[in-house]
Structure 1
Amino acid sequence: MNVSLRSTPALLNMSGNMPPKVPPVFNEAYRLAAQRVLADFEPNDLIGAHQFCGSERDRAAGARFVSRRLPEVPSVDRIVVANGTQSILVMLLAGLVGRGRQLVLEALSYPTIRTFADQLGFGLSPVPMDEEGALPDAFEEVCRADRPAAYYAMPTLQNPTTATMTIERRRTIAKICQRYGVAIIEDDIYSLLPREVPPPLSAFAPELSWYVLGTAKSMAPALKVAYVVAPTAAAATERFWPGVRATYWMCAPMNASVVSTLIETGGSDRIIEAIRVETRARQAIVAERLVDADLRTRPDCLHAWLSLPNSRPASDFLADVRALGIDVGASSTFAIGDIAPPNAIRFGTGTPRDRAAFERGLDAIVKVYLK
């Protein structure tokens, strides 16, 4: 008996918010950086042993990289080089929050934080939001009532809502954290594509802040290089070394060295600019085709937040879009705690491999939205 097996076509992933691929620029810059590393270093010396916290060179490159956003270049001894942002978050959430304590964050936030909370045994204290992010009065009330150990902050192009705090909001939130002794874990990963955004929240309370800046959203997801700036050199040592050898937060020396070379030679600048240009081109198409929609995004953001009419539940919208071969994210994915999620979806602009695939996905979203 012959059985015909038909494979189900893969959905076009627009639920993620990766940066768009820019092969002509990225490939040349990366190849040159990798070749230079292999020419400048003996491979066995480079990767023959762990480089906990990163080599002196890699931490100096990290300091230069984060200074794109911070008011000044931090001292190298405050920098830790790690295997991506998630690895940093695991270390900080375990060390600064820990079992039985509370983490405050926006009511809609990065969903992996829920996974970390379950694994590490800490509670989540969600805060209501407006178009800038956490509402100050509500934030202070949570700090007063729950006494959270830390605040997971994403004040620039917040995931998923694209909310961006003004300088005034950042100052207010920082003062509340100072008043209640709440550590700030600032994930600034979306901040490098916009040309003009306010200084990091960490700049307003540096003594409390752990500033995190990775390369996944501005260069390439699998580079797996991210930097954390500790409040002090002693704090960096305490949280990341010694006594943490049973984890996998350390960055592979080859990865770190290639990214350091990209930073030193300007290759990172060229890659970020190319991704910025492609992102702006795709967002211009979004703005044109959803001109009358209740849409929150900006020209240099990797995702868009689309509110739906009450007559169109998000679950139905997702099913209709999936029927057209496209996958987008429901607001419920990002909801923290018992707060009812708004009737909205998030879709990314960069995950489709090229402009044609992106337009095909966007056409499906628009078709279902106008249905």
Structure 2
Amino acid sequence: MPRARYKHLVDQFAADIRSGDLPAGSQLPTHRQLAAQKGIALVTASRVYKELEEMGLVSGETGRGTFVLSASHGIDQPTLHEGMIDLNFNSPSLPNQTELLRSGLRQLALSGDLEALLHYQPHAGRKHERAIVAGHLTSRGLNTDADNVLLVSGAQHGLAVAAMALLNPGDVVAVDALIYPGFKVLADLHKLELVPIPMREAGPDLDALEQLCQSRHVRAVYAMPTLHNPMGWVMSLAQREKLVAIARRHSLTIIEDAAYAFHADTPPPPLATLAPECTIYVSGLSKSIATGLRVGFIVAPIPLIAKLERIIRATTWNTPAVMTALACRWIDDGTVAKLEAQKRQDAMTRQSLARTILSGLHFTGHPAAYFLWLNLPEETRADQVVMALMKANISVSTAEPFATTDNPPHAIRLALGSVSLETLERSLKTVRQVIADHSY
């Protein structure tokens, strides 16, 4: 039996299980029945089921048969047990950050403004704090002022506020074929229809976006032009101008996710600078400073501010006042800029290490990002690689959480920022060995 056909059979079972066409608890044909149905050798049928079991999708029970496991048994975002090495989620922290937090909290405690932090804040944030954020964003090339800025509880909350305020259930949103998983979850909860844009080597296929807008009533486009997660792209100025032209031509709202933008050194202007009248810019400090610092920002056209404020009021009322005050103090005194520069350098060190260890494999990423996209060799199945790494106490993600297409590529995303350099080096060598063991 040709190898391509054998792998196709594995992939078809996997797709049917993930889609629910083969629900949890379903009994699959016996090995002999599968061999007869598909016209394959019995040993090949056994191998198909063995691979599905290694992928965590089925369970073989002696004397009873092979059964589909629950969809929640997936391995893309596992709960980490003690001793598990996390190459799935990034939570980078520099050695001096704990002391910075202690010092920052002491200074805040001595502030004459402390009592004000015990009370409700304006929904969009206090005016002087919005002005501080506006100055911070202006330094990144986004020309804005306090009236256009709203403070939110992290970038994920900012995306939710934007979607809830400006989109209705059933609306069509154009997205890249691979995107930040948090937006997929948000779209599912808000009943948005995500339509994928094919990808090119350095960004989305904007000609395909134009064709999509001509055939469907697209309401918005979700984009990460400056350091795309998971691909690491930084769109060129020409690409950005083309995207803006399409948005204006078809009256699209652009949702610009800039969570990782700080990693890129002197990128082209944000979409919100090129098209401020139709762009909602969302960012925060979780990636650049600390994941526990849940302070984010939205920049929006003045006519949309009231709608966005209404959703902030409905979801959180206002950002936590103490955290917002601390974040703005750190922006104002240069701590944020200093930490961002240090994290860019740290990410570059980790990227260089990863690229050296994984040399010869097909990977995509930005040289200053905390993650790397690794396309697996032909015929190598991501689920098997991920399961094998879990057995080695290493957690990574397949492409499935990021994919907006029906058939995710066989690739893994490696988060490089949550472990020590020594642990990262050792883990990446294991990743390479496991891939070699599962390549045919």
TM superposition score normalised by structure 2: 0.78
1:302 to 367, 370, 388: 370
Q: How does 1:30-41 map to 2 (within 5 A)?
A: 30-41=101-112
Q: Is 1:357 paired with 2:426?
A: no
The equivalent of 1:43 in structure 2 is 114
The TM-score with structure 1 as length reference comes to 0.91
CA distance in 2, matches of 1:100, 1:175: 25
Give 2:423's aligned amino acid.
A
| Separation of aligned partners in 2, 1:281 and 1:230 | 35
Moved more, 33-42 or 313-322: 33-42
Aligned pairs for 1:163-242 (under 5 A) are: 163-232=233-302, 234-241=303-310
Tell me the residue number matched to 2:9.
Answer: none
Per the alignment, residue 30 of structure 2 pairs with none
In structure 2, give the amino acid aligned to 1:360. Answer: R
Report deviation, 1:236: 1.4
2:234 alignment partner, SS class: coil
Count residues with an aligned counterpart.
Answer: 358
In 2, are the aligned partners of 1:167 and 1:199 still within 8 Å (CA)? yes
Which residue of structure 2 lines up, in the alignment, with residue 17 of structure 1?
90
Distance 1:119 1:146 in 2: 22
Q: How far apart in 1 are the matches of 2:103 and 2:394?
A: 36
Using the aligned pairs only, state the percent identity.
28
> Residue 319 of structure 1 corresponds to which residue in structure 2?
387
Alignment check: 8 A CA contact 1:57 1:260 kept:
no
Give distance in 1, aligned partners of 2:135 and 2:201: 31
**Aligned ranges 1:1-371 → 2 under 5 Å:** 9-18=82-91, 20-24=92-96, 26-72=97-143, 74-232=144-302, 234-241=303-310, 245-248=313-316, 250-338=318-406, 340-352=407-419, 354-371=420-437
Aligned residues of 1:125 and 1:146 also touching (Cα < 8 A): no
**Structure 1 vs Structure 2 CA RMSD:** 1.8
Counterpart code for 2:182? T
SS at match of 2:318: coil
Of structures 1 and 2, the one with the larger relative CO (CA 8 A, separation 6+) is 1
1:96/1:150 contact within 8 Å kept: no
Aligned with 2:218: secondary structure? Answer: coil
Decide whether the 8 Å contact of 2:177 with 2:404 is kept in 1.
yes
Q: Which amino acid aligns with 1:251?
A: T
| Amino acid corresponding to residue 361 of structure 1 in structure 2 | S
> 1:82-129, CA deviations, whole angstroms, 9 ceiling, x for partnerless residues?
100111111111121111211111111112222222221221111111
> Deviation of residue 8 (structure 1)?
6.6
Per-residue CA deviation, residues 295-349 of structure 1 (Å, 9 max, x unaligned), is: 11122101000011112111121122222110111012211142x2222111110
Change (3 A) 1:322 1:77: same
Cα distance in structure 2, aligned partners of 1:318 and 1:131: 25
Give the deviation of 1:207 after TM superposition.
0.8
Provide, for residues 45-104 of structure 1, a one-character-per-residue CA deviation record: whole Å limited to 9, x for no partner: 2222233211112101110221132343x1211100110011111111112111121111
Amino acid corresponding to residue 23 of structure 1 in structure 2: P
Letter in 1 for 2:348: R
Structure showing greater radius of gyration is 2
